[in-house]
């Protein structure tokens, strides 16, 4: 992906090194986990969007584990910070033009919070294992940059456009929030609890499609490089519910999907990328 650094985004909040952790794995009175156990809990947390690390925090409750400043790590991550700043600003500048013209709804910026280990948001506390998420209550996207290492090393999804897809998906949730779609889905889930997972999948697939709409704009502006689209599609497949469940448990339970299968995530990203039109992203009518 061809991109130029203009420093850090004004919408970036860097909370790395800020106290946020709730427990130490293997410390104090908590259960001691090996690397394999940590990986399994990480995958389960990604799949079910639930903090499974709470299950090993011990009978006495969570153990305090503040994230300490790490200047050396911060320096290593700075190029990535500048890249996500570029992607964030490029996404939001695109939606400032697209959203009013296609829906009549004005766009206003979300914030991106970088954290390490754990973070408190208006939607509650989250560990790194939860993965990147968007909180509609404070209109912020939360990412531990270590997730990108997992995406590359554990899930085999490498490349800067794979990283960009992840952030674009979360900005897609912000677009849904501005349009009132998120609120409507949450209300429908409360009204029809049996359809909760199905509605969640439709919401997530729409965010994938909206990420593809932004991807289309990058192609129009000739900032994509050969292989970039394939990298985004590979990332979408890598975090499909079926693949994550198979890695974690050895079998797949479609009734418990919350984000969609690998194939569905790829198809909806591709739909948005091909059309460049938010109107093509109505997952709820298919």
- How far, in Å, CA of 17 to CA of 45, rounded? 22
45 domain residue, yes or no: no
Distances (CA, A) of 136 to 40, 44, 124, 154, 231: 28, 23, 12, 29, 28
Is there a domain that residue 59 lies in? Answer: no
Position 273 in a domain: yes
Question: Any idea of the CA torsion for 283, 269, 115, 96, to the nearest 10 degrees?
Answer: -80
Cβ neighbours, 10 Å, residue 177: 17
- Through-space distance between the first and last CA atoms of the chain, rounded to whole angstroms: 32
DSSP summary character for residue 13: E
Q: In the 8-state DSSP scheme, what is residue 154?
A: T
DSSP state of 240: -
How buried is 193 (Cβ within 10 angstroms: 0-12 exposed, 13-18 middle, 19+ buried)? exposed
Asked, for residue 274, whether it belongs to a domain, the answer is: yes
Written as tens digits, the pLDDT of the chain (286 aa) is 999 888 899 999 999 987 554 433 333 333 334 444 555 656 666 666 555 555 444 333 343 344 567 888 888 999 999 999 999 999 999 999 999 999 999 999 999 999 999 999 999 999 988 899 999 999 999 999 999 999 999 888 989 999 999 999 999 999 999 999 999 999 999 999 999 999 999 999 999 999 999 999 999 999 999 999 999 999 999 999 999 999 999 999 999 999 999 999 999 999 999 999 999 999 999 7
Give the residue numbers spanning the domain of 201: 12-19+70-285
Name the E strands within 58-159: 111-115, 118-121, 124-127, 133-135, 140-144
Does some domain include residue 40? no
Residue 177: both structure tokens together: 């929030």
Q: Is the pTM of this model over 0.85?
A: no
CA distance 130 to 41: 10
CA–CA dist 209, 224 (Å, integer):
18
Domain-located, residue 91: yes
Q: How buried is 34 (Cβ within 10 angstroms: 0-12 exposed, 13-18 middle, 19+ buried)?
A: exposed
Specify if 43 maps to a domain.
Answer: no
Tell whether 76 is covered by a domain.
Answer: yes
Task: State the total domains in the chain.
Answer: 1
């Amino acid at each position: 992906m061809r991109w130029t650094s203009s420093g850090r985004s004004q919408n970036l909040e860097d909370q790395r090194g800020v106290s946020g952790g709730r427990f130490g794995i293997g410390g104090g009175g908590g259960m001691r986990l090996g690397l394999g156990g940590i990986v399994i809990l990480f995958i389960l947390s990604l799949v079910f969007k639930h903090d499974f690390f709470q299950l090993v925090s011990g009978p006495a409750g969570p153990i305090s584990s503040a994230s300490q400043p790490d200047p050396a790590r911060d320096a290593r991550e700075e190029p990535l910070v500048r890249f996500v700043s570029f992607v964030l600003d490029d996404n939001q500048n695109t939606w400032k033009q697209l959203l009013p013209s296609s829906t009549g709804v004005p766009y206003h910026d979300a914030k991106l919070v970088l954290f390490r280990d754990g973070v408190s948001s208006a939607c509650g506390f989250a560990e790194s294992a939860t993965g990147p998420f968007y909180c509609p209550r404070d209109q912020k996207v939360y990412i531990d940059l270590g997730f990108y290492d997992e995406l590359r090393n554990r899930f085999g999804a490498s490349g800067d456009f794979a990283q960009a897809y992840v952030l674009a998906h979360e900005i897609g949730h912000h677009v849904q929030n501005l349009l009132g779609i998120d609120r409507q889905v949450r209300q429908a889930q409360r009204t029809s609890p049996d359809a909760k997972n199905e509605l969640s999948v439709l919401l997530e697939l729409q965010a994938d499609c909206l990420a593809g709409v932004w991807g289309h704009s990058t192609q129009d502006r000739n900032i994509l490089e050969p292989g970039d689209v394939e990298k985004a599609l590979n990332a979408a497949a890598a975090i499909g519910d079926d693949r994550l469940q198979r890695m974690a448990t050895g079998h797949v339970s479609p009734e418990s999907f919350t984000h969609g299968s690998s194939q569905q995530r790829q198809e909806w990203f591709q739909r948005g990328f091909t059309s460049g039109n938010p109107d093509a992203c109505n997952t709820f009518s298919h």
